[in-house]
Structure 1
Amino acid sequence: MTTAMGAALRRIQFGNALAAFGNGFTAPFLFVYASQVRGLGNGTAGAVLAVFAVVALLVLPFTGRVLDVRGPLPVAYTGSAMGMVGALGFGISESAPSVLVSSALMGAGVAVLQPALATMIVSCSTRVTRSRAFATQFFLNNLGLGVGGLLGGLMVDEHRPATFTLLFVIEAAMFVVLGVVLATVRLPQSGGANADGEREAAAARGAAGAWSVLLRDRSMVLLCVLGFVLFFACYGQFESGLSAYAVEVTRISTSTLGVALAANTAVIVLTQYVVLRLVEKRRRSRVVALVGGIWAVAWVAAGASGLVHGAQAVATGLLITTYALFGVGETMLSPTVAPLVADLAPRRLVGQYNSAFALMKQLALAVGPAVGGLMAAVGAYGAYIVMLVGCSLGVSLLALWLGRRLTPVQDRPHRSVVVAGSGDAPAPGSGADVDVPAEALTGERAAVAAV
């Protein structure tokens, strides 16, 4: 990785952290703001969250083609602009239509930013540095969200709408700053003189052709299914079924639930780089399989917390352990899954692959709360725990199945690069000769520390 690539990557990460900070300011308070502060009722507040999710599902299928034809920077600028307008709209909205329009704009902006930033990170990294780059992005996202949520909670007062308006103005400012920072980024030109020809060819093929290529890639399809189950079994339950189980069955207070969520964030922030050093040279498929096992234990601990009667301290400890174990699994996934998406993608379809995976993630985040909330509403908590333990074990099986389809350079890129650097030829079709230029290999170890 060259010095210019490292400098560009650091700017991308800085802008991403600021955007996460702004999002943390407002995301936890959207429901309360629409329902109570603006007096629009719970129905409108629920619609705000639904629109935010549905719009993301609508725009992501088309985002990949634009990324591959126009490049990630224009898409990132568009996402930042929509996010800024949506945030400002939230701050001044007093009616249901304006709140819903603002939610749609901000949801679309945040949705397209995800694959755009991921594609930019891919452009500024190689197979060796990619795991650390995505781990850093995940770490900064969680740190920004956590700090933003903490400061936002200290600033807001539901009896003073102006305090909420200030939060949305700050979030809008963070979107602007993200756009300004990205304007200083100079992405490396992959493919040299052929880059323009590749983009014209991509434009000619169109979205249908890109999706056709992706759907014929069985490894990518399997990874998308795996991604759906991963996000369904973890993130999709945080604010629905698991929260309801904690309050209704484990019988902890909402303040203690906040402590459990804080434990999840603390584990991620404190252990991300320790975990990274342990897993970045391991087989990716086996790391993901281990995550499934850890999360199965986490769900068993959650189920046990509802069975411990007369020992509330033990029950509370088990539930906090559940959230902490989820955090451990998340730190293992961040340097593993997103880089694997990039390494599976043909160079001309990196944006398409990133968008497709983001679409599966968003779909899981929409379906997960719906299923968890419905099972909580009917009191099917036992079946709920069994379902999530099964999903976690399914993650392990899917990951091992995927590992049998991956090439050595896709499943264990660090070892493959070492072999290539020692003079052996890369495996045919592995892509190592494309993503790891010869002149970058000698300085790769030093460049890792700069990410």
Structure 2
Amino acid sequence: MTTAMGAALRRIQLGNALSAFGNGFTVPFLFIYVSQVRNLGASTAGIVLATFAVAALVVLPLTGRVIDRRGPLPVAIAGTVSAAIGSMGLGLADSQSLVVAAAAALGAGIAVIQPSLATMIVWCSTPTTRSRAFAMQFFLNNLGLGVGGLLGGQLVDTSDPSSFVRLFAIESAMFLVLGAAIATVRLPKVPKVEDAVPTDESAKGGWRSLFADRAMVQLCVLGFVMFFACYGQFESGLAAFAVEVTRISPATLGIALAANTAAIVLAQFVVLKLVERRRRSRVIALVGLIWTVAWIAAGVSGLVPGAHGVATALLISTYALFGIGESMLSPTMAPLVADLAPARLVGQYNSAFALVKQLALAVGPAVGGLMAGGGMYVAYIAMLIVCSLGISALALRMGRRLTPEQETPLRASAARTGTAEKAVVVEETDRMPVSV
């Protein structure tokens, strides 16, 4: 990695961390804010949460093509402006129509920012440094969300709407800080980066090329199952199971969520050293097995109501195990998407994977909520155990289609370097004069 690439990447990561910090001020309190503080009811709060997903699903199919035609910088800046307007709008809105409109602007902005930043990280890294770059992004995201949530909890007062206006103002300002940070980024002018910026003609047919890429299609299917079985259940089915079946208090549920964040923050770079030289498909398969254990632990926690301490420990362990799995995926999934993408379609591939994530995050809570609402907890846990085992099976199947450079870029790079060095030695030997 060149000095220019490293400087650009550090600026992108700093802006992203501050944006996550701002998000942390509002994300845990959004439902309460809409339903209770603004007195718009739980149904309106549910509509607002659904609006985030709908807005993302509307803009993401178009985002990749724009990134590949115009570059990620203008797209990311537009996303930060939309997110800042939406966030401030949520803080000031006092009617259902205004709240939903603000949520749409915020959701669309965040959805556009994600693949844009991912593409910028790809441009500012190499195949051998990409895993570490995405791991750092994931680490800073979770750290920012956690710190922001802790500080936001100290500032919020449900009896005082103005306290929430302050929270949303902070979030809005942090989006603008992100926009300012990336606006000053000068992407390094190296052949690899220039090749990644296509003309309008070369970006055409992006979706057709993507669907023809069997490895990418398999990765998208795998990603959907993964996001459905983990992230899509945190705030719906798993939370309901924890409260209704395991019988833990909402305060203890907060501790479990904190355990998830702590596991990510503490384990991220230890895990990175363990996985970055391993086959990516096998790392993902191992995550499926870890999450299988996590769901089994959650199920057992509901079978020991008489041993409340044991049940609570099992439930907290479930969230911690999810965090360990997430820390293994951060240096694996996003870099793999980038390494599968042709240089001219990096934005398209990143946007497609972000679209799959949003679909899973829309379907997952709906399915989890319906099953929890119907008391189908045994079927719910069984379904998610099957999904987790499916992750392992899908990952191993996908691995058959990956090249050595896509599976283990560090090993492949070392092998190429070793081959080149041997070739130089042979060439030098051939040039040596022969003694008679």
TM-score range, shorter chain: over 0.9
Bigger radius of gyration? 2
Structure 2 CA distance for partners of 1:422 and 1:294, relative to 1, 3 Å: same
Structure 2 CA distance for partners of 1:196 and 1:252, relative to 1, 3 Å: closer
Is 2:196–2:346's contact at 8 Å kept on the other side of the alignment? no
Q: How far is the alpha carbon of 1:193 from its aligned partner?
A: 10
TM-score by length of 1: 0.92
Is 2:68–2:197's contact at 8 Å kept on the other side of the alignment? no
What is the match of residue 47 of structure 1? 47
Is 2:197–2:344's contact at 8 Å kept on the other side of the alignment? no
- 2:12 is the alignment partner of 1:12: yes
Distance 1:376 1:197 in 2: 47
What is the match of residue 247 of structure 2? 251
Q: Show the 5 A alignment for 1:196-211.
A: 198-203=198-203, 205=204, 209-211=205-207
Match of 1:394 among 382, 385, 390: 390
Match of 2:409 among 409, 413, 420: 413
Structure 1 letter corresponding to 2:270: V
Paired-residue identity, %: 68
What is the match of residue 442 of structure 1? none
Q: Show the 5 A alignment for 1:151-230.
A: 151-189=151-189, 191=191, 195=195, 198-203=198-203, 205=204, 209-230=205-226
Is 2:67–2:347's contact at 8 Å kept on the other side of the alignment? yes
Answer with 90-99 or 116-125: which moved more.
90-99
Is 1:90–1:99's contact at 8 Å kept on the other side of the alignment? yes
What is the match of residue 380 of structure 2? 384
Structure 2 letter corresponding to 1:71: G
Aligned residue for 1:87, secondary structure, equals: helix
- 2:101 is the alignment partner of 1:101: yes
Distance 1:202 1:31 in 2: 44
Aligned residue for 1:405, secondary structure, equals: coil
Q: Show the 5 A alignment for 1:268-287.
A: 268-287=264-283
What is the match of residue 431 of structure 1? none
Q: How far is the alpha carbon of 1:313 from its aligned partner?
A: 0.3
Task: State the aligned residue count.
Answer: 421
Structure 1 gap ranges (5+)? 426-451
- 2:313 is the alignment partner of 1:317: yes
Is 2:196–2:343's contact at 8 Å kept on the other side of the alignment? no
Aligned residue for 1:379, secondary structure, equals: coil
Distance 1:197 1:338 in 2: 19
Structure 1 letter corresponding to 2:41: G
- 2:265 is the alignment partner of 1:265: no
Structure 2 CA distance for partners of 1:193 and 1:123, relative to 1, 3 Å: closer
What is the match of residue 143 of structure 1? 143
Distance 2:196 2:8 in 1: 21
What is the match of residue 449 of structure 1? none
Q: Show the 5 A alignment for 1:2-151.
A: 2-151=2-151
Q: How far is the alpha carbon of 1:196 from its aligned partner?
A: 9.6
Distance 1:195 1:416 in 2: 22
What is the match of residue 439 of structure 1? none
Is 1:237–1:369's contact at 8 Å kept on the other side of the alignment? yes
Q: How far is the alpha carbon of 1:329 from its aligned partner?
A: 0.3
Distance 2:345 2:66 in 1: 10
Q: How far is the alpha carbon of 1:192 from its aligned partner?
A: 7.3
Aligned residue for 2:347, secondary structure, equals: helix
- 2:323 is the alignment partner of 1:327: yes
Structure 2 CA distance for partners of 1:127 and 1:194, relative to 1, 3 Å: closer
Deviation digits for residues 257-296 of structure 1 (CA, Å, limit 9, x no counterpart): 0000100000101110000001010000000000000000
Distance 2:369 2:58 in 1: 23
Aligned residue for 2:198, secondary structure, equals: helix
Distance 2:80 2:385 in 1: 38
Structure 2 letter corresponding to 1:6: G
Structure 2 letter corresponding to 1:98: L
Structure 2 gap ranges (5+)? 422-436
Distance 1:286 1:293 in 2: 11
Distance 2:300 2:193 in 1: 61
Q: How far is the alpha carbon of 1:44 from its aligned partner?
A: 1.1
Is 1:189–1:195's contact at 8 Å kept on the other side of the alignment? no
Structure 2 CA distance for partners of 1:12 and 1:400, relative to 1, 3 Å: same
Is 2:123–2:193's contact at 8 Å kept on the other side of the alignment? no
